[in-house]
Amino acid sequence: MDITQQCVVALTWTLKDTLGETLDVLDEPVDFLIGGGDLFKKIEEALQGHGPGATIDLHLEPEETFGDYDENLINLEARALFPEETEEGMTFSATGLPKGVTGDYDGEHLYTVTELYPEHVVLDGNHPLAGIAIRLSLKVVNVREATEEEISQGSAGSGFFKVQPQAPGSNTLH
Render pLDDT for 45-84 as a digit per residue (tens, 0 to 9): 999 999 999 999 999 999 999 999 999 999 999 999 999 9
CB 6 within 8 A of CB 35: yes
For residues 56 and 51, give the distance between their C-alpha atoms in angstroms, rounded to a whole number: 11
pLDDT for res 169: 38
Q: Is 26 helix (H, G, I), strand (E, B) or coil?
A: strand
- Degrees (nearest 5) of the Cα angle 158, 162, 168? 100
Same domain? 136 vs 119 = no
Is 36 contained in some domain?
yes
Q: Is residue 161 part of a domain?
A: no
Taking 60 as the threshold, does the pLDDT of residue 168 lie above it? no
- pLDDT confidence band for 107 (50 / 70 / 90): confident
Give the Cα-Cα-Cα angle 47, 49, 53 (nearest 5 degrees).
Answer: 70
Q: Are residues 93 and 43 in the same domain?
A: no
Domain that holds residue 118: 71-124
User: Residues 90-111: what's their mean pLDDT?
Assistant: 92
Residue 148, domain CATH: 3.10.50.40
Per-residue pLDDT averaged across 74-96, rounded? 95
Dump pLDDT digits (tens) for 129-162: 999 999 999 999 999 999 999 999 999 986 666 5
Task: Choose among 174, 40, 38, 168: nearest CA to 112.
Answer: 168
Residue 158 lies in a domain: no
Q: What is the pLDDT of residues 4-61, one digit of tens each?
A: 999 999 999 999 999 999 999 999 999 999 998 899 999 999 999 999 999 999 999 9
The torsion angles phi and psi of 8, rounded to 5 degrees, stand at -110, 130
- Indicate whether 113 and 135 sit together in one domain: no
Position 160 scores a pLDDT of 63
What pLDDT sits at residue 161? 64
Per-residue confidence (pLDDT) for residue 12, from 0 to 100 = 97
| 139 half-sphere exposure, CB direction, 13 A CA radius | 10
Give the chain's domain count.
2
CATH number, position 77: 2.40.10
Cβ contacts of 164-170, under 8 Å, gap ≥ 24 = 164/91, 164/110, 165/91, 165/92, 165/93, 165/96, 165/110, 166/89, 166/90, 166/91, 167/90, 168/85, 168/86, 168/87, 168/89, 168/90, 169/87, 169/89, 170/89
Helices (H), the chain: 41-47, 148-153
On whether both 58 and 139 belong to a single domain, the answer is yes
Report how far apart, in Å, the C-alpha atoms of 94 and of each of 98, 106, 157 are. Answer: 9, 6, 22
- pLDDT higher for 107 or 13? 13
